[in-house]
Homo-oligomer: A and B are copies of this chain.
Amino acid sequence: MMQLVRVHNFTVSSDGYAAGEGQSLERPFGHADPGVLFSWAAATASWSLRTDPGGSRGLDDYLVREFDRNIGAEIMGRNKFGPQRGPWVNDEWQGWWGEEPPFHTPVFVMTHHERPSFTLADTTFHFVSGDPATVLELALAAADGKDVRLGGGANTIRQFLDADLIDTLHVAVAPVELGAGSRLWSSPEELLDRYHCDVVPSHGGVVHHLYWRR
């Protein structure tokens, strides 16, 4: 069985931004309101950060559930892992996700700055440098035959797209404009030369774009 590299539930504004300007500890998505970007996913029964029972089980939920199906490792950019930039001041920061991160696999954080691995519950974070192909090799080996999820942010996904390393992408386009920030694309059509795409409007207010290789 071939291992795939997959992007899931990655949400961008109508003008292609996954986060706004001025990202910080207080505002992880900068001037963007994550409540607006992710309301479609937060309403579903399978949302990994859901704490109460309930939630919808329609189209949005089918897509959200793919987050952990047959995933053996995640790759994320350093800017998704935390608000710090440049060399690590100390090792106190352990991500946004508390004592039980929703990944449940090895996570490879791409950074030029060394830092020891650490484990929270069943998630181990490794800090690795190198180009996308090099980091992907590590993640595929750690995934033990399962697929690798590419978790973002936009810059990281752009690097992997430019290196042609992504097999499938699910990008949700939210009905909000951001104007500036961390950008995935100018238009969803940019990928159509290399990917098939199903465009599926959702009652949750977003339009799902489901890409797979031609």
Interface set of A (CB-CB < 8 Å, partner B):
2, 45, 53, 56-59, 61-63, 65-66, 69, 167-168, 196-198, 200, 202-203, 208, 210, 212
The verdict on A66 contacting B58 (CB below 8 Å), with A198-B203, A200-B200, A203-B198 known, is: no
* Bound complex: CA A167 to CA B212 (Å): 31
Shortest CB-to-CB span from A166 to chain B, Å, is 12
Number of this chain's copies in the assembly equals 2
* Bound complex: CA A57 to CA B197 (Å): 9
* Bound complex: CA A210 to CA B203 (Å): 12
Judged by DSSP, the binding face of A is: mixed
CB-nearest residue of chain B to A210: B58
Q: Do A212 and B57 have beta carbons less than 8 Å apart?
A: yes
Name A56's contact: one of B56, B167, B212 (CB within 8 Å): B212
User: Cβ of A168: which chain B residues have Cβ within 8 Å of it?
Assistant: 57
Name A59's contact: one of B69, B167, B200 (CB within 8 Å): B200
Q: Do B203 and A62 have beta carbons less than 8 Å apart?
A: no
Name A62's contact: one of B53, B56, B57, B63 (CB within 8 Å): B63
